[in-house]
Chains A and B, each alone.
Chain A
């Protein structure tokens, strides 16, 4: 209830806002909302990996020398190679969006294919790395690992957990890129309706970001 009613009609509404809303009646296409929602989702990923980095930091603080001893058992050239692979895939993802914004559909799909190739390469290298560790008897619950110092056991526990969860995100990200590729092909995503691709790009860059921290913390503390 209001006593100071100064009612305006819909017809008199300020023109400046006309472009703002498509949500009266049918829900409209609001790229800014989708982008905002995507960023909020990325924050949950940030905090999810962030919590694991807190665990890492606490044990690094506690077992600094044992972590160094664990770290030297990882292969720096392989880690570096994988870092460069992911960075490159991030660039091709960004380029794919930039290309599609300019209407070049075929080139965008090629760049996405390249990005997918990088994702696959990353996973293959990662699995060889894990396989190598398993061959040396280093895997969760192994006797060889149980014979190591407590700090090294934690180091490898975190190594498998964190790189494993990261690899899972790479796989999910690749799946999303495949989906995006299909939608570009079908014409659902194009220069004017590119928010979907933008958001998948954001997710892919987040996967890259996590690795940017994982790499030095696991490979370079030795």
Chain B
């Protein structure tokens, strides 16, 4: 993609544009809001990680170590709530969607900048409520808040439920903003097929956020109504059906896993062509598979409920439909591999994260297919197998690419390059630790280890001990990765170098503006010529009408 970029080099960058905490808390600049999200999200990630470490430590050997069963349940719930609602769901969408997407489409901001700031406050308010719930004794329902237990328990479920409600609104508002921005603020010379694939991924995600999130919002409100006004809705003693709660919960929460993973896939689609210096293979297929995942992802929710007491016919239908959702994901993986094929591959940290994503997400995806099969799922439902599966997809997928995106866009966001050697060490420790941590859980789960238990029979000790050792290796790696970034900042300069405008030789518009960009990154409208993946190496059988061949239409 080439442009008339017109970067105003003399302009002060967005970080230094204004000073003081107040200037940050009242900013409407999409880049500054992205940074505020980044700080909050990484902090909550560290909190969730510490809770995970505590659980793993408790499980080091059988018998009670230092956590009672009740305390374990509370920590487990908090770990789930923080990691799902405060980390994974907003992670890439809120940070990189906000920072990168407007730049990639040649806009100076999102469509509704003040709404954008409002959704950050919704996020922080939700986070505050979630943490407040710890202060008043914590909650032991698990992040799923299943009735009837959540309706009967004495624990204060109001706070985490309201937290989830507010966090839901935060992602809805971000979603509305992103959809409108893509439609209305794209540079007029940028056609749909000239949009970077990251934009396609965020666009599809934004739609899911808008259409699925209200369902969980109202469902939690209904539970609270039932709890406080004693109206009969899910309560079986008043004629209600608790399984209906599960339906509504998963109508949102299955699409939510695509809110989590689609942006991660979108980041992979950005990184792979850059570090292969090759045109993306199958642009249209990757773009459309994002839309297809969003669509098919809304058809399969009840695969989480195969043992809940649904009708057999319903279970068969949902099992059948679930297999289809793997097809678009597989299309993406094939296209990434085909993009790398005969490319000029550079092993840089972002590319390593992309490799890790493909490897870990494939394991997560294949084990997902096992669970889609009704008969197998009945055996492995609620075992550690499931825990391993969703950590491979959510953490090995989205978590890894959150770090991948940080390592890719860090030079652009802060104008500083981290220490690559230290990053490499951190990555390797992370990767080895990750697999040591989660792979044994597959085996333990298949052998019957149930999930969400604070203790286990002695025969599972080997798997659990190995898993706990893995958690220590992984956390070491994660800390190196995080501190490597922090220490490279301009205000610290412990290590690293100043970054150029385009350190990765990338072709998309986000790398045509200064690092870090000025508040108004485009002094005048950029004129888009060509595609976002115009790299020296064409792909084999270059018959796609995408990218390289797209010309400006007057």
Report A's interface with B, CB cutoff 8 A. Answer: 1-10, 12-14, 16-17, 20-21, 23-25, 27, 30, 32-33, 36-37, 40-41, 43-45, 47-52, 54-55, 58-59, 62-63, 140-141, 146, 149-151, 153-154, 156-158, 160-161
Which single member of B218, B229, B230 contacts A52 (CB below 8 Å)? B218
Query: Which residues of chain B come closer than 8 Å to A41, judged between CB atoms?
Result: 176
Query: Which residues of chain A come closer than 8 Å to B506, judged between CB atoms?
Result: 1
- 12 A/B residue pairs, CB under 8 Å, sorted by A: A1-B502, A2-B2, A2-B507, A14-B189, A21-B185, A27-B108, A27-B109, A54-B247, A58-B241, A151-B239, A158-B231, A158-B233
Q: Is B402 an interface residue (CB 8 A)?
A: no
A5 to B506, CA, bound (A): 14
A157 touches B238 (CB 8 A): yes
Which single member of A33, A140, A161 contacts B111 (CB below 8 Å)? A33
B180 touches A14 (CB 8 A): no
Q: Is B498 an interface residue (CB 8 A)?
A: no
Q: Is B527 an interface residue (CB 8 A)?
A: yes
Which single member of A7, A27, A154 contacts B239 (CB below 8 Å)? A154
B108 touches A23 (CB 8 A): yes
B248 touches A51 (CB 8 A): yes
A150 to B1, CA, bound (A): 64
Query: Which residues of chain A come closer than 8 Å to B1, judged between CB atoms?
Result: 2
B233 touches A48 (CB 8 A): no
Query: Which residues of chain A come closer than 8 Å to B530, judged between CB atoms?
Result: 2, 4, 6
B211 touches A47 (CB 8 A): yes
Answer whether A157 and B215 are a contact pair too, CB < 8 Å, given A8-B529, A32-B184: no
Query: Which residues of chain A come closer than 8 Å to B211, judged between CB atoms?
Result: 43-44, 47
Q: Please tell me the number of chain B residues within 8 Å of chain A, measured between CB atoms.
A: 66
Could you mark each residue 165-187 of chain B with 1 if its beta carbon is under 8 Å from any beta carbon of chain A, else 0? 00000001001110110011100
Query: Which residues of chain B come closer than 8 Å to A24, judged between CB atoms?
Result: 108, 520, 522-525
Q: Is B6 an interface residue (CB 8 A)?
A: yes
B534 touches A47 (CB 8 A): no
Query: Which residues of chain B come closer than 8 Å to A21, judged between CB atoms?
Result: 185, 188, 525
Query: Which residues of chain A come closer than 8 Å to B248, judged between CB atoms?
Result: 51, 54-55
B6 touches A33 (CB 8 A): no
Query: Which residues of chain B come closer than 8 Å to A63, judged between CB atoms?
Result: 239
Query: Which residues of chain B come closer than 8 Å to A49, judged between CB atoms?
Result: 218
Closest 10 CB pairs of A and B: A150-B239, A141-B230, A157-B231, A17-B188, A157-B232, A2-B2, A48-B214, A47-B214, A33-B184, A5-B2
Of A24, A140, A146, chain B has the most CB atoms within 10 Å of the CB of A24
Q: Is B84 an interface residue (CB 8 A)?
A: no
B4 touches A8 (CB 8 A): yes
A158 to B239, CA, bound (A): 12
A48 to B169, CA, bound (A): 12
Query: Which residues of chain B come closer than 8 Å to A50, judged between CB atoms?
Result: 215
Where chain A touches its partner, the secondary structure class is helix
Which single member of A10, A47, A151, A153 contacts B212 (CB below 8 Å)? A47
Of A9, A13, A146, chain B has the most CB atoms within 10 Å of the CB of A13
A51 touches B240 (CB 8 A): no
B247 to chain A, nearest CB (A): 8
Query: Which residues of chain B come closer than 8 Å to A12, judged between CB atoms?
Result: 527
Query: Which residues of chain A come closer than 8 Å to B520, judged between CB atoms?
Result: 24-25
Q: Is B492 an interface residue (CB 8 A)?
A: no
A7 touches B180 (CB 8 A): no
A149 to B109, CA, bound (A): 57
Which single member of B212, B226, B251, B536 contacts A3 (CB below 8 Å)? B536
Which single member of A23, A141, A158 contacts B229 (CB below 8 Å)? A141
A77 to B248, CA, bound (A): 34
A14 to B183, CA, bound (A): 19
Query: Which residues of chain B come closer than 8 Å to A140, judged between CB atoms?
Result: 229-231
Could you mark each residue 187-231 of chain B with 1 if its beta carbon is under 8 Å from any beta carbon of chain A, else 0? 011000000000000000000001111110111001001100111
B352 to chain A, nearest CB (A): 21
Could you mark each residue 529-554 of chain B with 1 if its beta carbon is under 8 Å from any beta carbon of chain A, else 0? 11000101000000000001000101
Query: Which residues of chain A come closer than 8 Å to B4, judged between CB atoms?
Result: 7-10
A13 to B3, CA, bound (A): 12
B215 touches A51 (CB 8 A): yes
A58 to B314, CA, bound (A): 14
B534 touches A4 (CB 8 A): yes
Answer whether A10 and B529 are a contact pair too, CB < 8 Å, given A17-B188, A154-B239, A157-B231: no
A55 touches B233 (CB 8 A): yes
Answer whether A8 and B232 are a contact pair too, CB < 8 Å, given A17-B189, A47-B211, A161-B222: no
Query: Which residues of chain B come closer than 8 Å to A7, judged between CB atoms?
Result: 2-4, 527, 529
B2 touches A10 (CB 8 A): no
A153 touches B188 (CB 8 A): no
B180 touches A51 (CB 8 A): no
A153 touches B2 (CB 8 A): no
Answer whether A36 and B108 are a contact pair too, CB < 8 Å, given A1-B502, A24-B522, A47-B211: no
Query: Which residues of chain A come closer than 8 Å to B185, judged between CB atoms?
Result: 21, 23, 33
B85 to chain A, nearest CB (A): 17
A23 touches B107 (CB 8 A): yes
A156 to B217, CA, bound (A): 22
A154 touches B238 (CB 8 A): yes
Which single member of B113, B210, B511 contacts A27 (CB below 8 Å)? B113
Which of chain A's residues has its CB closest to B102's CB?
A23
Query: Which residues of chain B come closer than 8 Å to A20, judged between CB atoms?
Result: 188
A58 touches B109 (CB 8 A): no
B219 touches A36 (CB 8 A): no
Answer whether A153 and B238 are a contact pair too, CB < 8 Å, given A7-B4, A45-B214, A48-B214: yes
Q: Is B505 an interface residue (CB 8 A)?
A: yes
A37 touches B217 (CB 8 A): no
A140 to B536, CA, bound (A): 70
Answer whether A150 and B238 are a contact pair too, CB < 8 Å, given A14-B554, A24-B525: yes
A29 to chain B, nearest CB (A): 12
Which single member of B108, B240, B525 contacts A154 (CB below 8 Å)? B240
Of A40, A41, A158, chain B has the most CB atoms within 10 Å of the CB of A40
Which single member of B2, B222, B527 contacts A13 (CB below 8 Å)? B527
Which single member of A14, A149, A161 contacts B225 (CB below 8 Å)? A161
A40 to B218, CA, bound (A): 17
B395 to chain A, nearest CB (A): 29
A56 to chain B, nearest CB (A): 10
Of B111, B179, B520, chain A has the most CB atoms within 10 Å of the CB of B111
A40 to chain B, nearest CB (A): 4
Which single member of A5, A30, A154, A158 contacts B184 (CB below 8 Å)? A30
Which of chain A's residues has its CB closest to B217's CB?
A48
Which of chain B's residues has its CB closest to A44's CB?
B214
B505 touches A1 (CB 8 A): yes
Query: Which residues of chain B come closer than 8 Å to A33, judged between CB atoms?
Result: 111-112, 180, 183-185
